[in-house]
Amino acid sequence: MKHIFQQGKDASAPVLLLLHGTGGNEHDLLPIAEMISPDSSVLSVRGNVSENGMPRFFRRLAEGVFDEEDLIFRTKELYDFLDEAAEKYGFNRENMVAVGYSNGANIAGSLLFHYERALAGAILFHPMVPRRGVELPNLESTPVFIGAGKHDPICAPAETEELNELLKSAGADVTLKWQPGGHQLTREEVDQAKEWLDWDSERCSLL
């Protein structure tokens, strides 16, 4: 998978897995990573699917309708790539926190839905429910931050609440923050994600 790896200053800080939205690329979220955790190593990945020339992480059948077969395949593809990248670059695979926006948040959510301990945590900006009617792995104490818009035309608030409950039911420690706007990623959300990650790092160090 096309990607960028940047070695961080602090080996104990979480490795940030950056996952862009539809039409984005591996460069899009690098400034967000710098704001959220400037000392972290960063692995930023480009989706392998093209929709009318726009990179995505998995196919969809229509707006808001996922191609589940492709979603499952692409989720495994990404999961396997993370293992390979950890070995290649020598970072701690068990200390990886995903930062995903829109389609990138959905593939990050799919990692959580399909694989136990796929991620140490996740920051999901404007995610949807990846799949329904499946049993989630044990996500006990996995920290997840969800940033959502109250007037998001792509991801309705009811869907956000559903994802929140599904993750919690699997044991995840979910923090949900609402914004008054729509599907766009805001600076306020990024600042909240930074505060959440700082808090969680401090909490984890006390365990």
- Tens of pLDDT, residue by residue over 72-84, are 999 999 999 999 9
Instruction: Determine phi and psi for 36, rounding to 5 degrees.
Output: -80, -45
Active-site residue among 41, 102, 110, 114?
A: 102
CATH number assigned to the domain comprising residue 100: 3.40.50.1820
pTM to 2 decimal places: 0.94
The answer to which of 39-43, 136-140, 195-199 has the lowest mean pLDDT is 195-199
Which residues lie below 8 Å from residue 1, measured CB to CB, with a gap of 6+? 45, 46, 48, 77, 78, 81
The percentage of the chain sitting over the pLDDT mark of 90, rounded to a whole number, equals 91
Give residue-wise pLDDT tens across range 41-93: 999 999 999 999 999 999 988 887 899 999 999 999 999 999 999 999 999 99
Average pLDDT taken over every residue of the chain: 94
Q: Could you list the residue range(s) of the whole structural domain that residue 60 is in?
A: 3-205
**What total of structural domains would you count in the chain?**
1
Cα(40)–Cα(63) distance, rounded to whole angstroms? 34
pLDDT of residue 202: 59
Is 183 an active-site residue? yes
pLDDT of residue 61: 86
Runs of H (alpha helix) within 2-125: 30-36, 68-89, 103-114
Active-site residue among 67, 70, 173, 183?
A: 183
pLDDT of residue 207: 30
Provide DSSP, 146-161. Answer: EEEETT-SSS-HHHHH
Which residues lie below 8 Å from residue 206, measured CB to CB, with a gap of 6+? none
Active-site residue among 44, 110, 152, 200?
A: 152
Cα(129)–Cα(131) distance, rounded to whole angstroms? 6
